Amino acid sequence: MQGLEFSVVFENMNILLQGMFWTVVLCSSASLLSIVVAVVLAMTGISKLKPVRSATLFFLWVFRGTPLLLQLFLFYFGLPQVGLYLSPIITGIIGLTLHFGVYNADVLRAGILGVETGQHEASRSLGLSYFQTMRKVIIPQALRNVSPAVGNNLIALLKESSLVSIITVPELTLSAQRAISETFRPFEFYFAAGALYYVVNWGLEFILQRVEARTALTR
Amino acid sequence: MDYELILRVTPFFAKAAWTTVVVSFLSFALGLSIAFPAAFCRLSQNRFLQIPSRVYVSVFRGTPCLIQLFVIYFGGPQIGIQLEPFMAGVLGLGINIGSYMTESIRGAILAVSRGQTEASRSLGLSKFQAMRKVVLPQAAGLMISPLGVNTIALIKGSSLVSAISVLELAYTAHRFTNSTYRPFEMFILASTFYLVIITLTSKAIRNLNGRFAYEK
């Protein structure tokens, strides 16, 4: 049994922290964009037009029923074939955004349908159009209703972001692999990467708890 | 859209799909075997049982599954564990999903109202008898749905073992995309298999839920 030497981790900490920086960038961008995607897909998912609704529900079914890794491969190899030559980081953001946008869309759709119809009626009778009602009255309430579920999805996003290392995005997991290729100590570095993810996760949970406390609807 | 290609490689994908099913099933079994004891430890009053269980759940739910797999497969030899990819994959997935299942089981047991436990105890049943004969049967119905969610997540999570070279669906999709440069066809083929597996599993879970769960 080879001895474990965690000192190499501290010597190469800068590589890991660089990776962690990109992980945070990746996850923040993907989180925000996924909420935008979720709003769009939630709206088309409750559309009165059957083709729009069916297409959306089919799309949601496919992207919820397939693994994130497969979707990342689709974008990484497929986008260049349709002429879009994007950097791995952008491709990673697109993949994560779409995947979690789909998850959040289902959650948000349930939230929208859960807002009492009295809100719709009141807004319409005050002269607001359908889209104005949605934008100013319903969706804000729906978002506050489902913020715990969305928060859970954001935490999942942080952990699943490690997959983009497979499509060569220089985030924390890939940085650990870089360090390993120089020091040949996989256990120490993967363990350290795991610890860093755990710390960031803990921080994210803390932030989400505060957000939920402030946005919770008190009855 | 190259249909001829799709037909040509389908047998490879079918074989890989079977590997996915086997990996998922074995990890599911391992996870469940870990989760039940862990859930009871978590609910125990004994601190020496409770703390390790809480640490287990916190660590394995708080870190990425991919990292866990890498620690076991690539880091294992350094601490004397040398597993081939399939075994490392099942072990890693099993331990990971076990932590989520622990919480599902714990939630279900806690959801059975305390009145049941109190009534059982006052009728003379011991703590174990109360758990075995009264609480668990009721909790069983409640835990099917959350465990079902865990299982679906596990099936999708099985794609991660492609990164430690297990020859399952995602690995096969990656390999054929590399050799044929037709990512859309390979995605459609692989996703069809995943959707079939997941949809059938979902139906089975809903069925099970309908038979054993009941509204209060």
pLDDT at B215 over 70: no
pLDDT in tens, B163-208: 999 999 999 999 999 999 999 999 999 999 999 999 999 999 999 9
Percent residues over pLDDT 70 in chain A = 98
Domain assignment of residue A5, yes or no: no
* Contact list, B170 vs chain A (CB under 8 Å): 67, 69-70, 73
Q: Does B1 touch chain A (CB under 8 A)?
A: no
pLDDT in tens, A6-58: 888 898 999 999 999 999 999 999 999 999 999 999 999 988 889 999 999 99
Domain assignment of residue A167, yes or no: yes
- Test A201 with B163 for CB contact under 8 angstroms: no
Averaged over B81-91, what is the pLDDT? Answer: 95
Task: Give Cα separations from B128 to B34, B122, B125, B143 (angstroms).
Answer: 19, 14, 8, 19
Domain assignment of residue A11, yes or no: no
Question: Min CA distance, A198 vs chain B (Å)?
Answer: 5
- Test B170 with A73 for CB contact under 8 angstroms: yes
pLDDT at A219: 43
Q: Does B104 touch chain A (CB under 8 A)?
A: no
Choose the closest CB to A73 out of B67, B187, B195: B187
Choose the closest CB to A194 out of B63, B78, B170: B63
Residue from A4, A76, A77, A157 whose CB has the most chain B CBs within 10 Å, to mutate: A77
Question: Min CA distance, A165 vs chain B (Å)?
Answer: 10
pLDDT at A198 over 80: yes
**CA–CA dist B41, A91 (Å, integer):** 43
Quickly state the pLDDT bin for B152 (edges 50, 70, 90). very high
Domain assignment of residue A37, yes or no: yes
Instruction: Give residue B110's identity as a one-letter amino acid code.
Output: L
pLDDT at B97: 97
Angle A102-A103-A104 from CA coordinates, rounded to 5°: 90
pLDDT at B81 over 80: yes
Percent residues over pLDDT 70 in chain B = 99
Residue from B69, B187, B192 whose CB has the most chain A CBs within 10 Å, to mutate: B187
Residue from A174, A187, A200, A206 whose CB has the most chain B CBs within 10 Å, to mutate: A187
- Test A73 with B71 for CB contact under 8 angstroms: no
pLDDT at A1: 47
Q: Does B92 touch chain A (CB under 8 A)?
A: no
Between chain A and chain B, the number of residue pairs with CB atoms below 8 A apart is: 114
Domain assignment of residue A1, yes or no: no
The continuous run of DSSP H or E covering B126 comes out as none
- Test A65 with B198 for CB contact under 8 angstroms: yes
Which domain does A160 fall in, by range?
19-215
**Mean per-residue pLDDT of chain A:** 91
Quickly state the pLDDT bin for A218 (edges 50, 70, 90). low
**CA–CA dist A13, B195 (Å, integer):** 41
Quickly state the pLDDT bin for A2 (edges 50, 70, 90). low
Closest-approach residue (CA) in chain B for A70: B170
Quickly state the pLDDT bin for A4 (edges 50, 70, 90). confident
Asked if B102 and B38 touch (Cβ cutoff 8 Å), the reply is yes
Q: Say which CATH number the domain at A132 has.
A: 1.10.3720.10
Q: Does B59 touch chain A (CB under 8 A)?
A: yes
Ramachandran sector of residue B185 (left: φ over 0; alpha: ψ -120 to 50; beta: rest)? alpha
- Test A191 with B75 for CB contact under 8 angstroms: yes
DSSP characters over A74-85: HHHHHHHHTT--
Choose the closest CB to A70 out of B181, B190, B199: B190
Domain assignment of residue A82, yes or no: yes
* Contact list, B80 vs chain A (CB under 8 Å): 1
- Test A77 with B183 for CB contact under 8 angstroms: yes
Rounded to the nearest 5°, which phi and psi values hold at B209?
-60, -45
pLDDT at B214: 67
CATH superfamily entry for domain B3-212: MetI-like (1.10.3720.10)
pLDDT at A42: 92
The token pair at A15 is 């590589």
Domain assignment of residue A3, yes or no: no
Closest-approach residue (CA) in chain A for B179: A77
Domain assignment of residue A75, yes or no: yes
Q: Write the CB contacts of B192 (distance below 8 Å, at least 6 apart in sequence).
A: none
Interface of B with A in 156-185 (CB under 8 A): 156-160, 162-163, 169-170, 173-174, 177, 181, 183-184
pLDDT in tens, B108-120: 999 887 888 888 8
The token pair at B50 is 């409770």
- Test B170 with A186 for CB contact under 8 angstroms: no
Averaged over B146-171, what is the pLDDT? Answer: 95
Quickly state the pLDDT bin for A175 (edges 50, 70, 90). very high
* Domains of chain A: total: 1
Closest-approach residue (CA) in chain A for B163: A166
Instruction: Give residue B142's identity as a one-letter amino acid code.
Output: L
Task: Give Cα separations from A209 to A133, A150, A181, B104 (angstroms).
Answer: 29, 12, 38, 21
